[in-house]
Structure 1
Amino acid sequence: MNHNVILTCAVTGAGDTTAKSPHVPVTPKQIADDCIAAARAGASVAHIHVRDPETGTISHSVEHFREVMQRVREADVDIVMNITAGGGGDWIPDAADPTRGGPGSDIQTPRQRHEPVGELLPELCTLDCGSLNFGDMVYVNPADWLREHARLVQAAGVKPELECFDLGHVWFARQLQQEGLIDGDPLYQLCLGIPWGAEADTETLLAMRNRLPHDAHWAAFGIGRHQMPMAAQAVLLGGHARVGLEDNLYLEKGVLATNAQLVEKAASLFENLGARVMTPAETRAHLALRDPNTGHVVEKAIETTAGGAA
């Protein structure tokens, strides 16, 4: 069991959730406000996407990311910032010509995906480690794109969170490390319950965890009703956890949640298990992240959580 937990709040995502809950933040101010509220509720990390303020759909605007970052940094709270770099991979074959992307497709090059990270230099960014049948679309991320993207993240000095939606993604993330494209102890995020990737159950989580390198830090999340059970299971198996409205809209059956409420519920759950949530400062030290105020990497202060048996 992990007794010192990094708790990430994924505040908005890019999915079609704004019509399902009024609590999903859309504008840069709303997203920043939810990051701040999550910090006050006890979150260690805020994971952010941005949305088009007019439509609520996905946006890749550096200026939207910049506004969120600035508002959070100027607030009277501290939280580690984690910017998505996984947008721009959505492929839906056109019905008339399947060799072309149809409505809803959204493809960016690795350099385009990296632009907000390279300009804003958050402490963390995501690196999605493979392609996937993602519901009714295909998330496109070929190996050579991933290598290019990993080099860009490495050159920026930002720590990548290696998002793995299936067991093969863990394999390829290890390959990136073996090729020297991941610096320091790697950080994995095991993503569970998204059709048609890894299922949200203990057996799948354990199988993925057991293939991690021995020096790995890792966290996991489940979507929908699996969010809290998978958060608890991750902590019991030695990892960290993620909650938030990107992955789940409900506090309990029929009751819509806010991000702060999900953070409070998870923190209370971990406390009842005998664990505690790490502060943002402790998180930076634990993961050897760059301090946003000084620009220097924080020295480790807590022992690395062991990974699996790979």
Structure 2
Amino acid sequence: MIIAAPAGVARGDVPHLPVAPGELLTAAQACEQVGASVVRVDVRGSDGLLSLDPGQAAEVVAALREGASLAVLLSLDGPDGASDADRLRVLDALPDSASLALGAPGGGDRWEFAVAAHEAMRERGIVPEYSVSGAGQLALLRRLLDERGLPAGGLVHVGLVLGAPGGLPGDADTLVSLVRELPEGALFSATGLDRAGLPVLLAALACGGHLRVGLADTPEYAEGQRAQSTTQLVARAAGVARIAQRPPLSGAQARELLGRRAPVRV
């Protein structure tokens, strides 16, 4: 399962960053053609800034659902300082999955928000991606599952984000140690930020995991060489996956893996 993440960086950093629903759809279609299974959506306003506007979220999800076969994973991150209520409101767009960051910016956990989002997604039948980027967050996830039960569909999907400043190191040893600590039966996807991209990609494939790639994570294709697009990064990940005899899943196969046998309709 290859998760394409085309829109999670600042537009000033990447001038061709897709923002409007039509732009995101075009990017998603291109990524799908080269091996993406899932598209991660960071909703942005016309100014290119992160947004949690529920209308924009619904418009983007509807456009992707209409024009592509990829499963849709909606980010709940939003702009700095956004309220938890605003983050939860975008779930009304009914994506297939939504990314729930278990760590707070600057450190610490997000227990109250994690509980609220976990239960809101279960009520809507949305599969969470529990995003882990710092030490102690897997312990918070285990507590969440112990106290609040399994998410929608019973699948625990953990998104490992390695190499963030102040977060978990972006190397194979760290990834392997995290995989050993995952809840029983959980599946995981992983991404390495910046120069951690390739080491984490290779280690994730070797450990039986899935991949997240895109300009949101790795703006450079190689040292000193800017990535042209998320499509370029997805194509590389798909090629490496085939070499590892882990061929990319289709959108329908990814949705089935996540327990979403048919798209959620808005």
The answer as to 2:118 corresponding to 1:150 is yes
**What SS does the corresponding residue of 1:131 show, helix, strand or coil?**
coil
- Indicate the residue corresponding to 1:299 in structure 2: none
Q: Look up the match of 1:34.
A: 27
In 2, Cα distance between the equivalents of 1:144 and 1:293?
27
Return the match for 2:5 from 5, 10, 14: 10
1:306 maps to which residue? none
Change in 2 beyond 3 A, CA 1:148/1:255: closer
Between the aligned partners of 2:63 and 2:105, the Cα distance in structure 1 is 34
- Structure 1 residue 167: Cα displacement: 3.0
- Which residue, 96, 99, 104 being the options, matches 1:123? 96
Q: Which residue of 1 aligns with 2:259?
A: 288
1:23 lines up with 2:33 in the alignment: no
Q: Distance in 1 between matches of 2:111 and 2:265?
A: 34
The DSSP-based 3-state class of the residue aligned with 2:176 is: helix
The farther-off stretch of 188-197 and 282-291 is 282-291
Q: Which residue type is aligned with residue 251 of structure 2?
A: P
Residue 161 of structure 1 pairs with residue 129 of structure 2: yes
Structure with greater helix percent: 2
2:199 equivalent in structure 1 = 229
Residues 294/33 of structure 1: CA separation in 2 closer, same or farther (3 Å cut) = closer
Structure 2: distance between partners of 1:281 and 1:69: 16
Worse-superposed segment, 23-32 or 79-88: 23-32
- Residue in 1 aligned with 2:43? 50
Question: Hey, what does 2:86 align to over in structure 1?
Answer: 112
Instruction: Give the Cα–Cα distance (whole angstroms) in 2 for the partners of residues 33 and 63 of structure 1.
Output: 20
**Over alpha carbons, which structure has the higher Rg?**
1
Where do residues 40-119 of structure 1 align in structure 2 (5 Å cutoff)?
A: 40-54=33-47, 56-75=48-67, 77-88=68-79, 90=80, 106-109=81-84, 111-117=85-91, 119=92
Q: Which moved more, 1:280-289 or 1:217-226?
A: 280-289
Report the secondary structure of 2:242's partner residue.
Answer: helix
The match for 1:203 among 173, 177, 183 is 173
Alpha-carbon deviation of 1:290? 5.0
| Structure 1 residue 27, shift from structure 2 partner | 2.4
Matched, 1:186 2:156: yes
Root-mean-square deviation (CA), in Å? Answer: 1.9
Residues 217-296 of structure 1 aligned to structure 2 (within 5 Å):
217-253=187-223, 254-292=225-263
Deviation above 4 Å: which 4+ runs of structure 1? none
Separation in 2, partners of 1:293, 1:58? 24
Offset from partner CA, 1:279-308 (integer Å, 9 cap, x none): 11111222212511679xxxxxxxxxxxxx
The number of equivalent residue pairs is 263
Unaligned runs of 5+ in 2: none
Structure 1 regions of 5+ residues with no counterpart?
1-5, 91-105, 296-310
The 1:67–1:215 alpha-carbon spacing in structure 2 relative to 1, beyond 3 Å, is same
Displacement of 1:132 in angstroms is 4.2
Contact 1:28 1:65 in 2 (8 A): no
Structure-2 separation of matches of 1:83 and 1:206: 27
Decide which of 141, 149, 152 is 1:173's aligned counterpart: 141
C-alpha displacement at 1:250, in angstroms?
2.2
- TM normalised by structure 2 equals 0.92
What are the superposed Cα offsets for residues 78-97 of structure 1, whole Å, 9 maximum, x if unpaired? Answer: 10000011335x3xxxxxxx
CA contact (8 A) 1:9 1:43 kept: yes
CA deviations over 1:204-250 (Å, ceiling 9, x no partner):
11121111012101111001122122112101011111001111112
